[in-house]
Structure 1
Amino acid sequence: MIVVAGEALVDLVPTPEGTLAPRLGGGPYNVAVAAGRLEAPVSFLSRVSTDLFGDRLLERLHASNVRTDLVQRGPEPTTLAVVGLAEDGSARYSFYVEGTADRQVTDPGPLPDTVRAVSFGTLSLVLEPGASTYERVLWRESERGALTVLDPNIRAGLIRDPLAYRDRYDSWLPHVGLLKVSVDDARWLAELPEDAPEDDVLDVARDWLAAGPAAVVLTRGGDGLAVLTADGVIRVPPTPVTVVDTIGAGDTVQGALLAWLHHHDALSTEAVRGLDNGKWAAALSYAGAAAAITCSRAGAEPPFKRELEMT
C-alpha cells in the first residue's frame, strides 16, 4: 500500500469565457489520483471538509481507485486556489487558506505495516499546524523503514520565512528515500538565480543526494525528466504533446513514479537505490508520458492506466 499525505483543495481555473471553473486538486491529492488511476494500491491521508467541495473531493478519490480510510472530515471550509495561466499554459496560484480543513489534520499514529511508501509535499508541509503533523509522520515512517517520497512543490507566496523553510527542508532530507523536485523549485530552494544553468542545479542536487535520498528526480518542463543517482545523471526527452495547461503535471509525474515502482516491486529505499540506468529510463518515460496526457487536458486530470497503454 502507498499512502499519499497532504492537502486536497479546489482550483478555480480560468475558462475561455473569462469565468473561473472549480477543479478538484491540490498537489498530494493529484498525486493520489494519478497513482490510483494507474492501478497502484493507494490511500489518501488528509483532513477534508464536510462542505460540498469536500464531498466532491472524496467522490473523485473513490472514482480514481483511491482508498479514503485515512481521511479525516471536519466542518472547516475547503482551501481554494485561484489559478492564473500564462500563454504557454504554465500556472501561477493565489490561495485562500485561513482556517481551512486540510491544515487541521491530526496525527493518525503509526500507519499499518502494509504501507510500503508514503508521499509528502506542497502546502501541507508549509501551513501549520498541519505541517508539523505531516513532518512527524515523515520521521516516523522513515524510521519504520517505509520508502518516503518528497516533492516540495514550492508555493513561494505562502512561505513567510524562506530561510526557515529552507532549513526545515534540509532537515527532512536524511529521512527521504526519493526526492522529486522541479528545476525551478530547486533554484528557489538553493537561492540560485532564476536563469541559473541546469549544471548549477545538478550540483545542488548532488548535495541533496549526499544528504540521504536514494535518488533525486528533476522535472525540467519542456526539456523532459532527469534523475540523479550515485551512478550519475539519466535524462529522458519529453513526450510530444499539445499543451492545454500544466496544472497537475508534476503531481502526475510523482503519482506515476509511485505506480511504476509498485508495478516493478521497487517500493523501498534500497530497491530505488538499486535501479539501473535502463530501469530509470523506463520509469521516467512512463511518468513523462502520463504527465503529457495531463498537460493535454484542462486542469489536473491524470490518465487512467488504459489511456496510458494506448499511447
Structure 2
Amino acid sequence: MLLSCGDALIDFLPSKTGDGREALSPAVGGSCLNIAIGMARLDVPTGFVGGISTDTFGSMIADHATNSAVDLRYATRSDHQATLAFARVTGTETQYAFYDADTASRNWVYRRDMIAFENIECIHTGSTTLVNDKGAAETMAFIDDAKAHVTISLDPNCRPNLVTNKDAYRARMLAFCRTADIVKMSDVDFAYLFCDEPYADRAAALLSEGPSLVVITRGNNGACGWHRHAGAIEVDSPVVKVVDTIGAGDSFQAAMLVALHRLGRIERQRLRDITAAELTRALSFACKCAAFTCTRAGADPPRSRELPAGTW
C-alpha cells in the first residue's frame, strides 16, 4: 500500500450561476488527499492518514475518498470542523484563502503503532499540514517511526499566505527534505524557498543530504529530475486545452509514485538504483496525468481507464 499523510479539505472553486453571476462551488480537495485519490484511481492500493471532520463537509471528503477506493482505516474522524479553502485563479496559478483554525486536519495526532509499516511501500506528505508547528511535529514523529521501513516522499506545496515566519518555514522544509527519499516541488514553490538559485545547484545540495530523487515541475514546460546515479532528466508536458490547473501538481505526484511502484523502483534501495530510462518513463507518465487533469475543472485526477492507450 502507498499512503498519503496530510491535508483534506473543501475547496470553494470559482463558477458561474445560470444567469452569469460569479459564484463558488464546493469540491473536495487538499493536496495530500488529492494525491491519495490520484494514486488509488491508478489502481494501486492507497490509504490516507490525517484528520477528517464528522461534519457535513467531512462527510463529503470521506465519501469522495471512498468512491475513489482510498482506504480510510488510518484517518482520524473528529467533530472539529473541516478546513475550507477559497480559490481564485490568476493566470496559470491558483491562489487560496484558507480557514483552518481548530479544524480536524489541524488537530490530527499521530498515534504510534497505528500502522504496520511492513505492509507499506511509501508514505507521502507535505502542504498545509507542515505549516503549523503542531502538524509539522506530528508528521515528523510519523516519519521518524516510518523512515527505517518505507520510502518517504515530500512535496512542500508551499502556501505563503499561511506562513508567518518565512525563515523558520524554510528551515522546516529543509529539515523535511533531509528525511525524504523523493522531493518534488513546483517551480513556484522553488522560487519561494530558494529565490533565483539554479535548479541544478539546489538539487545537488539536496541530493547530498538525503534524497535520492529531486524533481521540479514547470507547468506546461514539463519537469526536470535529478538522481544521484541516473543523473539529470528532462521531460516535456503534452499540449492540452487547459480548463484550469487545480490539482495538476498533485496528479503529477500521484502518477510519479505509481509509476515508480509499477517499475518496482519505489523501495528505497531499488530507487537508488533506478536507470535514466526508467526515470524518464516515470516522469513522462506523471506529466501526462497532470496534463489530463488540466483538461477538466477542479482537482479531478484520471482513472486508469480514462487515460489514452499507450499513456503508460
TM-score bucket (shorter structure): over 0.9
Greater shift in the superposed pair: 181-190 or 234-243: 181-190
Task: Give the 5 Å matches for 1:147-166.
Answer: 147-166=151-170
Instruction: Select 1:170's aligned residue among 155, 174, 181.
Output: 174
Residue number in structure 1 paired with 2:125: 120
Partner of 2:204: 206
d(CA) in 2 for partners of 1:291, 1:129: 31
> Which residue is 1:229 aligned to?
227
Contact 1:89 1:243 in 2 (8 A): no
Aligned to 1:215: 213
Task: Tell me the equivalent position of 1:244.
Answer: 243
* Equivalent residue, structure 2, for 1:185: 189
Using the alignment, how far apart are the partners of 2:40 and 2:192 within structure 1? 30
Residues 220 and 239 in structure 2, CA contact (< 8 A), matched pair in contact too: no
Q: Distance in 2 between matches of 1:172 and 1:304?
A: 30
Q: TM-score, normalised by structure 1?
A: 0.94
Aligned pair partner of 1:48 in 52, 56, 70: 52
Whole-angstrom CA distance in 1 between matches of 2:178 and 2:134? 22
Counterpart of 1:36 (choices 19, 37, 40) is 40
1:284-310 per-position Cα deviation (integer Å, ceiling 9, x unaligned): 111111111111111000000111244
Number of corresponding residues: 303
Bigger RCO of structures 1 and 2 (CA < 8 A, at least 6 apart): 1
1:134 equivalent among 131, 139, 143 = 139
Q: Determine the C-alpha separation between the residues in 2 that align with 1:261 and 1:65.
A: 20
Letter aligned with residue 291 of structure 1: A
Question: What TM-score, normalized by structure 2, do the two folds share?
Answer: 0.94
RMSD, matched Cα = 1.3
Percent identical: 33
Q: Distance in 1 between matches of 2:106 and 2:191?
A: 27
Aligned partners of 2:200 and 2:185: how far apart in 1? 11
**CA displacement, residues 252-298 of structure 1 (integer Å, 9 cap, x when unaligned):** 11111111122222221222221111111110111111111111111
Cross-structure match for 2:291: 292
Q: AA paired with 2:13?
A: V
Moved over 4 A (4+): none
Kept in 1: contact 2:183–2:215 (CA 8 A) = yes
- Give the match's secondary structure for 2:123: strand
Check the 8 A contact 2:255/2:286 in 1, yes or no.
yes
Structure 2 equivalent of residue 106 of structure 1: 109
Distance in structure 1 (CA, Å) of the matches to 2:231 and 2:188: 21
Q: Which runs of 5+ in 1 are unaligned?
A: none
Asked if structure 2 preserves the Cα contact closer than 8 Å seen for 1:234 and 1:281, the reply is yes
What SS does the aligned partner of 1:104 have? coil
Runs of 5+ consecutive residues of structure 2 not aligned to the other structure: none
1:90 alignment partner in structure 2: 93
Shift of 1:128: 3.7
Amino acid at match of 1:213: P
